[in-house]
Structure 1
Amino acid sequence: MKILYYILCIAVLTNIMSCKKYVQVEDPKDQLVSSSIFVNDATATAAMVGIYSDMNAFNYQFANVITTFMCAMSADEFTYASTLANFDEFKNNAVTPGNSYVGIMWSQPYGFIYRANAVIEGATASNTLSSGVKNQLLGEARFVRAFCHFYLINFFGDVPLILNTDVLKNTNLPRTASKDVYAAVIADLVEAKKLLVAAYPGGAERTRPNKTAASLLLARAYLYTGNNALAEQEANEVISSSGYSLLNNPDVTNAANMTKAFLKNSSEAVWQLQVVNTANGRNTWEGNTIVPTAAPFYRLTRGALGLESGFEPGDKRFSNWVGSYTTTAFPPVTYYYPFKYKVRVGIAGSAPTEYAMVLRFAEAYLIRAEARAQQGNFAGAKADLDIIRSRAGLAPLVTASSLTVAMAQVEQERRVELFAEWGHRWFDLKRWKSTSGAAGKTRADDVLSQTKTGWKSTAILFPIPSEAMRTNPNMVQNPGYN
C-alpha cells in the first residue's frame, strides 16, 4: 500500500499557524508522533487538529475538491469544458489504476487514519491529559478513522482495515471484507458518540466533530448497511439536537436564506473544514475552483437526463444553488454550474465567510425519510421529504403507495438537495439496487447506461491504485481492471 510514505514522513503536528486556526496552542516545534506529544492538553490537541488543517491545506485533495468532483463526474452531476486525461477517465467511468487522482483517494485517507491511530494510542497511554481533553481527542480520532474508512469502502469496496500504527504489518495487509470494515466504522462512531459532547470544542466554530457529527455519520453508515431502524434512530437524534436548522425565511416561497447555508458556522453546518490557505482572499477550495470568471469550466450535465433538467419548476435550490453564464455568441448559450459556494476570491486580508461543508443538517431528514420508506412508513417518509421540499418552495408530495414510489421520491430529493457535495449521488447510485430487479445490478446500471457509452457494472468501484498493487503483495485488484 502507498501508506508507507505517509507513515514514515508525516508529522502529526503540522505548521503551527495552520493549527492555530482551529485552536490556540503553543508551538510544539517539529516533534514527530511520540509519547511526549501527549503529556499536556495543548500539544495533544494540536496533534488532532493538525489532521483537519492538512485535510484542507491544498487544492485537489481527498478532503476537498477531489472527492466531490471525481464522484460527480463518475455519476451524472456535472462535467467540464475541456479534455483532460485524468478527468476523462472519471467522466467516462474508465478509471485506470495509474490515475493520479485515484491514487490520492487511496493514500490520503490512509495517511489520516494512521495519524488518528497515533492519537488514539498516544492519548490512551497518557496519564497526564485532563479527562475532558482525553475523551474529546479519543472521540475525534475515532470519528476521523471511521470517516476515512467509510470513504475508502465507497470508493474501492473491500479495503485493508487499519486500526493501529504497526507500519510493517499494515503495509502488507490484505483487503478486509466491506461488511467488516463497516462494522469497525460503526463501532468507532458508537464509541465516538460516548466520548464526544454536544458543544463544539475549541470555541463556537463547527470545525471539529462533536456528538451530533458522530450521530449523523453513524446514521449514514446504518442506512448504507441496511439497518434502517437504527438509521432512523440516529437521524432522530440529529434532528432533535439544538442549534441546527434549515435556513429559510418565514415565507416558504422565498428561499433567499438558502444562499447562506454554506457560510461558516451556519445553522446547517454539522461539521465543516475551516479555511487554512487564505492567500489572495481565498475562502473554500471548492468555491475557488468552481465559481467562474467567464464561461464556467465545470458545468451541470445537460439533456433530458442531466442534472440541469433534474429540478422541478420553481425549485429554489436551482435559483439559489445553481449559477448561470450566458455567452455573447450568436445564438447565445447558457451554461449552468454548481453555486452552493458563492466566493471565488474574497477581499484579500479579510476573514473568510465560507467554510467547506462536510456534514450538513439536511442530510438527517433525507436519511430518516429513506429509513422510514424502507420500513414501510411511507407517510413518515413523505413528512421528512416535505420539510426539505417546503424550504425549496415546492408543494407537498403525495404519500407513496409502494416502496418503489417512495424510493423514487427519496432519490429525487437526495439528487437535487445534495448535488456536488461529497459524492452523495455517486454513492447512492452504487448502493441502491436496480429497479429492473436484475440480479447484481444497481441504480448506476439503470441511470448511467443511458447516457454513458461503454458503461460497465464493474465501474461502480474505482481500481486499486498501481502503487498499492506494486508495494503490497497481498493486494488484489478490483474486477474489471486486470
Structure 2
Amino acid sequence: MRFFKYITFLALLSGLNACDSFLDVGVPKDEIAAELAFSDNKTATASVTGVYGRMNQLNYQFANVLSMILPAMQADEFTYAFVSAAYEEYKNNAVLPSNQFLNTLWTQPYEYIAQVNMCIEGLEESTALSPDVKSQLLGEAKFLRAFCYFYLVNNFGGVPLIVGTNVNENNTKGRSPETEVYAQIIADLKDAKESLFAGYPQGVEVNTAGGERIRPNKAAASALLARAYLYTNQSALAEAEATAVINNTTYKLMPTDDIGKVFLKNSEEAIWQIQAINTANGRNTWEGFLIIPANLVTGTPLFRLIPNHLYDAFESGDARDENWVGKITTAAGVTHKYPHKYKARFAVTPVAEYTMVLRLAEQYLIRAEARYNQQNYGGAEADINAIRSRADLDGLALNNDKDAVRMALEQERRVELFAEWGHRWYDLRRWPSVTGQAGKTRADDILPALKPSWKADAIYLPLPETAVASNPNLNKDF
C-alpha cells in the first residue's frame, strides 16, 4: 500500500515564506493529490525544496545547532556555561534514553527521510516532468536521504533502513547493521552524483551558473561520498572523490586575509549550505544567534572552549584562532573563548551568512587521510600543508614519518573543523586507539582525562525511549 495519498504542502513548505530563492518555484496553498504534486516542474520542485525549509526553520533542530553543540560536548571541544541536566548528559557522555534532545536527533532525520521517500516515489512515477528537472530532483532527494542516514548511523550505530513508503513496514522495521546503512548511503550518493548537475539550480532552472549554493549539486554528492568512503575504509575511492571536488574550479580555499569570510553565504569555499529562513530582526544563522554573546565585550558566551583542550589547541599565529575563536575577558581577568565562525547574531540585513554544511577545506583533509591510509605520506603532507598555509602557518616537513603525519592530520582536522557538524567527535569514535588495543578508539585515548566516568560504549547514543516504546523491534539484535 502507498504510504501517502496526499502530500501536505503546508508541512513540506512550512517556513519558506521568507525564502525568496524557493518561492519562485510556486507554492501550492493546500493539500495536492500525489498525482498532481509531480505533474509539473514547479510543484515537483516545491515538493523537494520544501525539505530544506523544514530543516532550518526553527532553532535547536537536527540540521542546525544540535548537530553542532551536542557532539562538540561529547568530544573535547566546548561546554555549556550554565547548569543544564540535558547538556550535562552529553558533556559526561552519559546520555539517557529520555534526554530531551535525543528524540530530535532521531525523529527529525526520519521525518526528512519519509518526505524524500515520497518524493523519490512520486518523481520516479511521473511522466510529466522535463528530463533535466526530474534528474536534478531525484538527485537532490537521494542526496538528502544519504545525508540523514549518515548522521543517524554515526550517532546511533545500526538504525532502521527505510527506503520505501509502506507505513506498516516502516513502523515495525528493526535496526540494520552499520554496513548495510553505509551501503545505502553510498548507493544513494552514487545515484545522486549521476543525476545532479554541475551548476546550482535556481527554482526550476537546473545547471545554472548563478544559483546560490543552497541545493546540492554534483560536487556536493562527491563531497559527501568522499566522506562516506573514508569512514568505510575505502581510501582510494575517497581520494578520487575528494580530488574531483578539489580540482573543480568553482571552489577555492579562501585566502588567509579572507579567512573570516569563509562562512558567508555563497563563499567560494562553500559546497553546500542551508539557507537562512527565519531572519527576524536581522538574524542570520541559528548557530550565530545561539553562540555569539549579545555583548561582545562583556557578554557571557553560552558555549566555551575547554581549557587544556580546544582552548589551547591552536598554534601561535594561527589565523583560525584570530578569526574563528571569539574571546571575552571578564572583570576578574578570566578569558573565555567561544566558537566564532559565524559573525552575525542580529542586525545583519540583508542576510550575510548561511549554515555551512560542506566546504572545500574538508575535502583536502579527507584526501590527506585517504592518502595516509594508502601510505602516501608525502601526498598527505601536501594536503595538510595546503590547509596550514591558508591559516598563515608554516608548512611541515614530516619526512614520510607515519606517526608524525597521523598526528599532524589529527591536529589540522581538530582546529580546522571544530564546531562543525560533529567532525571532532566522529573522528575520535572512528579512529583506532594509538595504543593498538583491539576494540579501543581514539576517544578511549583522549577523553578519560577530561571525563573520569568515560565508558568505551559511549561512542554511540542510546535509542530514544519513545522510539523503542513505539517499535519493540528496535530492541532486537541485528
Which TM-score band applies after superposition, normalised by the shorter structure? Answer: over 0.9
Change (3 A) 1:412 1:16: closer
What is the alpha-carbon distance in structure 2 between the residues aligned to residue 266 and residue 458 of structure 1?
Answer: 39
1:283 paired residue number: 284
Name the TM-score, length of structure 1 as normaliser.
0.93
Structure 1 position 36, deviation (Å): 1.1
Partner SS, residue 46 of structure 2: helix
Change (3 A) 1:372 1:33: farther
Gap regions ≥5 residues in structure 1: 249-254
Structure 1 position 22, deviation (Å): 2.7
2:108 paired residue number: 108
Matched, 1:328 2:327: no
Name the TM-score, length of structure 2 as normaliser.
0.94
Note the 1:261-410 alignment, pairs <5 A.
261-293=262-294, 294-303=299-308, 306-329=309-332, 332-347=333-348, 350-410=349-409
Matched, 1:423 2:422: yes
2:444 paired residue number: 445
> In angstroms, what is the RMSD of aligned CA positions?
1.8
Change (3 A) 1:466 1:94: same
Partner SS, residue 11 of structure 1: helix
Partners of 1:12 and 1:32 within 8 A in 2:
no
Number of residue pairs aligned between Structure 1 and Structure 2: 463
What is the alpha-carbon distance in structure 1 between the residues aligned to residue 171 and residue 10 of structure 2?
Answer: 16
Partners of 2:51 and 2:112 within 8 A in 1:
yes
Partners of 2:16 and 2:277 within 8 A in 1:
no
Partner SS, residue 324 of structure 1: strand
Identity between Structure 1 and Structure 2 (%): 52
Change (3 A) 1:355 1:229: same
Partners of 2:327 and 2:335 within 8 A in 1:
yes
CA displacement 1:21-60 (0-9 Å, x = unmatched): 3351223112157121000100110011110011000000
Letter matched to residue 260 of structure 2:
T
Change (3 A) 1:445 1:20: same
What is the alpha-carbon distance in structure 1 between the residues aligned to residue 249 and residue 158 of structure 2?
Answer: 37
Change (3 A) 1:341 1:441: same
Partner SS, residue 271 of structure 2: strand
Partner SS, residue 101 of structure 2: helix
Partner SS, residue 100 of structure 1: coil
Structure 1 position 70, deviation (Å): 0.1
Note the 1:72-111 alignment, pairs <5 A.
72-111=72-111
**Aligned mate of 2:226, from 219, 229, 240:** 219
Worse-matched range after superposition: 26-35 or 335-344 = 26-35
CA displacement 1:318-342 (0-9 Å, x = unmatched): 001001001123xx11100000000
What is the alpha-carbon distance in structure 2 between the residues aligned to residue 162 and residue 150 of structure 1?
Answer: 13
Change (3 A) 1:44 1:9: closer
Partner SS, residue 475 of structure 1: helix
Gap regions ≥5 residues in structure 2: 203-209
Structure 1 position 87, deviation (Å): 0.5
